[in-house]
Amino acid sequence: MYETILVEKQENVFSLTLNRPQALNAMDMVMREEIKEVLAQIVRDDEVRVVVLRANGRAFCAGGDIKTMGTSAPNAGRKRLRNVHILYKTLMTMDKPVIAAVNGYAAGSGLALACACDFRIAAKSSKFAASFINVGLVPDCGIFYNLPRLIGVAKAKEMTMLGQAFDAEKALEMGLVTNVVEDDQLDTAVNELASQLAARSPIALALNKSVMNRSFELSLDDALEYEAYAQDVCMMSQEHKELVAAFLDKKKK
């Protein structure tokens, strides 16, 4: 159905697998457009509660496909990125949690792809690099926004200005990834997390993600107001009522 990705939906979990292993899943424009198309479908699918981003082959994503970059005319890079940004923004703002299952290299815009997800489970052999500087570029695809929030400004400068790769254990220490597991346990760990999230209230998860994403830009008063609004929505939901009833019933036994 797609040229560069594989898709699978099992109950409430949607898996999107990058499938250009011969190119270390480097993202060309075909892949980007196909991912955008699938993400747009996921956003509209109320049956999907959790999204998992995976990759076939030896790398999660080696970044943008340099063969497709070439020399840009004035403003061409800006127009190209504005189109690409839709992909990353959709991952960050969709009302469903997104898990990145990172194997091998996550470099450049591949690192940006992982950072745009809500959880990053990394195989022990994986490596992370903000390698833009190595080809004379600045970070893009949301790195300037996401990376400092995940690991702090000082470490973000180190990653982006030196372009060096960090192993999975260092990434965990910095707070870049959620967890590190043995390579042969990556799928199991990701599936377990996806199952846990799929069992949670989708309304509460969606509002949690939305408000948390805004937290750095909000004043205290605004944050408290968002919190009150979100809690009010949750309290009025049928899910909340059913979960409270189940809790009280369990306590009686």
Which positions ≥6 away from 210 have C-beta within 8 Å?
A: 93, 95, 230
pLDDT of 9: 97
pLDDT of 74: 62
pLDDT of 64: 84
- Side chain identity, residue 56: N
Per-residue pLDDT of the chain (253 residues; tens, 9 = 90+): 899 999 999 999 999 999 999 999 999 999 999 999 999 999 999 999 999 999 999 999 999 877 766 556 566 667 777 888 999 999 999 999 999 999 999 999 999 999 999 999 999 999 999 999 998 999 999 999 999 999 999 999 999 999 999 999 999 999 999 999 999 999 999 999 999 999 999 999 999 999 999 999 999 999 999 999 999 999 999 989 998 988 888 777 6
pLDDT of 69: 61
DSSP 224: H
Q: Is 11 left (phi over 0), alpha (psi -120 to 50) or beta?
A: left
pLDDT of 192: 98
- For the entire predicted model, the pTM comes to 0.92
Distances (CA, A) of 124 to 25, 102, 139, 170: 19, 9, 25, 10
Residues 97 and 205: beta-carbon distance below 8 Å: yes
pLDDT of 1: 85
pLDDT of 31: 95
pLDDT of 108: 94
Q: Which of 147, 124, 119 is nearest to 51 (CA)?
A: 119
DSSP 24: T
